[in-house]
Amino acid sequence: MRILILFVSLALFTAIAAAQEKCKLNLNEAPKLHNVRLGMSAEEATRAFQNRIKVKAKSDGQSSFFKNFIKKRAKGNLAGIRAIFLRFYRGRIYQIELFYEEDHRWRDLESLLDDYSIQNNFPREFWQTKFEYASAKCMGFSLKADYKLNPHIQLTDDVAAKLVKNAREK
């Protein structure tokens, strides 16, 4: 009986530890969102979207780019995307936010996370899910996802985001 209790306790501890695995990936190892990576310029993002949209950033290097496909659905490599939001700091992308069509290939948040993790070789156990929201915190970047209104995923360079926030507060 003692061996059984010890075995069950060990299995439970191992499962809890695995579920709470910390992401040790750094910013250079951050996954991409639809071929777009953190740190890209507007021109590089345009190429990543296969020139289907022209990404523009203000010359001061701090701006946002927004494109939606509400009236006319996206096609080609952008199929399934409802809206794209890119935020720039010093001319480089520090945040990528994609909203997908509700009828895209996922039925719920879990299937979105599973698919994203497989497609980007991002370990599924890094995601923490609570109240239909998911997040993954790594070394210098973070991911957020939800399926409230439309499937949505956001990738952020946390250091640059903090610099932007501090600059706005001054």
User: What pLDDT sits at residue 142?
Assistant: 98
CA-CA-CA-CA torsion for 100, 141, 23, 107, nearest 10 degrees? -10
User: What pLDDT sits at residue 76?
Assistant: 82
User: What pLDDT sits at residue 16?
Assistant: 40
Residues of the chain with pLDDT under 50: 4-20
- CA neighbor of 88 nearest in space, from 64, 66, 68: 64
Q: How far apart are CA 133 and CA 2, in angstroms?
A: 40
Place of tokens 């399934």: 80
CB of 114 within 8 A of CB of 94?
no
